[in-house]
């Protein structure tokens, strides 16, 4: 097929040429005497993306799921009580992992389309005078429903209850795309992966760990080997790894971190917000069919789950878009299977790429008989982009 696949799933995301070029290199000696000259500054700069000065960021070969496992097994013991909430496929999978790793899981189910129930967390933390709860888990950005939760509010709830539990955050589809402040929010374990906001191929689990959480490795009884922080700490201190690192991905990560810091995290977050808002304008104002997130306070700036009207199948939209227009969208998962299709809008994206995806969604929905007006979503997004366009003005003012 001529042209390119339009990749609008919420990860893996589009890979910028600069990153593609950075990973196109020969294999290198990961024990070379000058390898630390590359790795040590990378470890430091990566901390800036997590917005931490006091924590440490580990790079494991793996994916985000491996990062979850590293976070749990290095800091908790079987039987430890943990507080977690479930409102989508990704928060569900983390609950499932907690159970399989034999934690004592106190799970709060809330409506899909909402997120972390902070008031309920606050109540349970307040009531837990004996401090049986060892860990509080939050999915920062639920990728299945396009919902972002307020992590700073969870920190406030912990502090208000004067509760010592560690705070675990799944930031796989938020870190490097939307605001994430590890130090300021007192996050103890922050999990990400390479193929979303970092714009890299899949293959790295990226885990931020606070000093308080690092201490737990001395007492945590969960079985661990490959993901052991202890081995990582020892070798990373010298600029090396306990086993063969994914050197090409590390070179790519260098380019990714450079790109993020050159653009400036504030600008990266603002750009993501603008791309997301254009998609929401298209779905809500243009097509008039709405999104899965139950209100603006839950809107995600990295993925939008667009609800299809009753009687239509969201998965059919995804399939048709792929075969007819070479456009990849995200399917609805689990409880929302068939009810939504997802537009991923994170990573290396600009206005016209978003319009391309919206045009493909629009044609697809009309092909399938979903009653939306031709051009309505694209028009709503275009007008929003025009209203908020500042680049040309800024250049003219220089």
Ligand X SMILES: *Cc1c(COP(=O)(O)O)cnc(C)c1O
Residue 225 DSSP class: S
In the complex, the smallest distance separating the C-beta of residue 353 from ligand X, rounded to whole angstroms, is: 20
Size of the site for ligand X (CB under 6 A): 12
Q: What residues between 185 and 224 interact with ligand X by CB under 6 A?
A: 193
Give the binding range for ligand X (CB under 6 A) out of 76-84, 125-133, 136-144, 327-335. 136-144
Q: Does 146 bind ligand X (CB under 6 A)?
A: no
In the complex, the smallest distance separating the C-beta of residue 10 from ligand X, rounded to whole angstroms, is: 6
Nearest in space to 94 (alpha carbons), one of 57, 141, 51, 59: 141
222 burial class (0-12, 13-18, 19+ CB within 10 angstroms)?
middle
Residue 49 and residue 261: Cα distance in Å, rounded? 8
In the complex, the smallest distance separating the C-beta of residue 165 from ligand X, rounded to whole angstroms, is: 21
In the list 55, 64, 286, 332, the residue contacting ligand X (rule: CB under 6 A) is: 64
CA dihedral over 279, 285, 288, 293, signed as positive or negative: positive
Q: Does 328 bind ligand X (CB under 6 A)?
A: no
What is the residue-wise DSSP string for 305-359? EEEPPTTS-HHHHHHHHHHHH-EE-EEP-GGGTTTEEEEE--SS--HHHHHHHHH
Specify the residue, 185 or 385, whose C-beta has the smaller distance to ligand X.
185
CB atoms within 10 A of CB 16: 17
Residue 252 and residue 132: Cα distance in Å, rounded? 42
In the complex, the smallest distance separating the C-beta of residue 170 from ligand X, rounded to whole angstroms, is: 5
Specify the residue, 108 or 235, whose C-beta has the smaller distance to ligand X.
108
Q: Does 63 bind ligand X (CB under 6 A)?
A: yes
| Residue sitting closest to ligand X (CB) | 64
In the complex, the smallest distance separating the C-beta of residue 69 from ligand X, rounded to whole angstroms, is: 10
In the complex, the smallest distance separating the C-beta of residue 16 from ligand X, rounded to whole angstroms, is: 19
In the complex, the smallest distance separating the C-beta of residue 178 from ligand X, rounded to whole angstroms, is: 12
Q: Does 152 bind ligand X (CB under 6 A)?
A: no
Give the binding range for ligand X (CB under 6 A) out of 40-48, 58-66, 71-79, 274-282. 58-66
Specify the residue, 138 or 381, whose C-beta has the smaller distance to ligand X.
138
Coil, helix or strand for 296? helix
Residue 291 DSSP class: B
Q: Does 139 bind ligand X (CB under 6 A)?
A: yes
Q: Does 90 bind ligand X (CB under 6 A)?
A: yes
Specify the residue, 68 or 229, whose C-beta has the smaller distance to ligand X.
68
Give the binding range for ligand X (CB under 6 A) out of 138-146, 290-298, 370-378, 383-391. 138-146
In the list 11, 117, 186, 197, the residue contacting ligand X (rule: CB under 6 A) is: 11
Q: Does 65 bind ligand X (CB under 6 A)?
A: yes
Specify the residue, 193 or 252, whose C-beta has the smaller distance to ligand X.
193
Q: Does 69 bind ligand X (CB under 6 A)?
A: no
Spatial contact of 112 and 298, defined as CB atoms under 8 Å apart: no
List b or e across 68-94, with b for residues whose CB sees 16 or more CB atoms inside 10 angstroms. bbbbbbbbbeeebbbbbbbbbbbbbbb
User: What is the length of the chain?
Assistant: 398
- Output the CA torsion 208→130→84→213 (10° steps): 10
In the complex, the smallest distance separating the C-beta of residue 281 from ligand X, rounded to whole angstroms, is: 23
Q: What residues between 158 and 177 interact with ligand X by CB under 6 A?
A: 170, 172-173
Residue 215 and residue 36: Cα distance in Å, rounded? 25
Residue showing tokens 């009810």: 339
What is the residue-wise DSSP string for 62-125? S-HHHHHHHHHHTT--TT-EEEEEESSHHHHHHHHHHHHTT-EEEEEE--BTB---HHHHHHHH
Footprint of ligand X (CB under 6 A): 11, 63-65, 90, 139, 141, 143, 170, 172-173, 193
């Amino acid at each position: 097929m001529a042209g390119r696949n339009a990749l609008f799933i919420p990860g893996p995301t589009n890979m910028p040429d600069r990153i593609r070029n950075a990973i196109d290199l020969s294999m290198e000696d990961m024990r070379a005497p000058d390898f630390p000259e590359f790795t040590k500054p990378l470890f430091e700069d990566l901390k800036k993306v997590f917005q931490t000065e006091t924590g440490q960021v580990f790079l494991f070969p793996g994916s985000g799921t491996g990062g979850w496992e590293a976070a749990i097994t290095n800091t908790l013991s079987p039987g430890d009580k943990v507080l977690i909430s479930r409102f989508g496929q990704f928060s569900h999978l983390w609950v499932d992992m907690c159970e399989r790793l034999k934690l004592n899981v106190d799970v709060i189910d809330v409506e899909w389309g909402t997120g972390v129930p902070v008031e309920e967390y606050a109540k349970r933390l307040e009531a837990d005078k004996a401090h049986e709860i060892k860990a509080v888990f939050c999915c920062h950005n639920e990728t299945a429903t396009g919902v972002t939760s307020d992590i700073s509010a969870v920190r406030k709830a912990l502090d208000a209850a004067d509760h010592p539990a560690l705070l675990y955050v799944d930031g796989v589809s938020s870190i490097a795309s939307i605001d994430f402040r590890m130090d300021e929010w007192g996050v103890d374990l922050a999990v990400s992966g390479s193929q979303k906001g970092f714009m890299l191929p899949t293959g790295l689990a990226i885990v931020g760990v606070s000093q308080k959480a690092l201490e737990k490795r001395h007492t945590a009884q969960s079985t661990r080997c490959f993901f052991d922080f202890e081995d990582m700490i020892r070798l990373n201190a010298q600029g090396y790894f306990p086993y063969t690192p994914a050197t090409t991905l590390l070179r790519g990560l260098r380019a990714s971190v450079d790109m993020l810091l050159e653009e400036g995290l504030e600008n990266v977050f603002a750009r993501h917000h603008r791309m997301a808002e254009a998609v929401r304008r298209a779905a809500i104002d243009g097509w008039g069919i709405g999104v899965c997130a139950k209100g603006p306070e839950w809107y995600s700036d990295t993925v939008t789950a667009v609800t299809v009207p009753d009687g239509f199948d969201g998965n059919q939209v995804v399939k048709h878009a792929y075969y007819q227009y070479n456009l990849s969208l995200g399917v609805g998962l689990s409880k929302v299977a068939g009810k939504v299709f997802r537009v991923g809008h994170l990573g290396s994206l600009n206005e016209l790429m978003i319009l391309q995806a919206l045009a493909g969604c629009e044609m697809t929905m009309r092909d399938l008989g979903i009653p939306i007006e031709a051009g309505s979503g694209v028009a709503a997004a275009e007008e929003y982009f025009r209203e908020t366009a500042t680049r040309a003005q800024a250049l003219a003012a220089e």
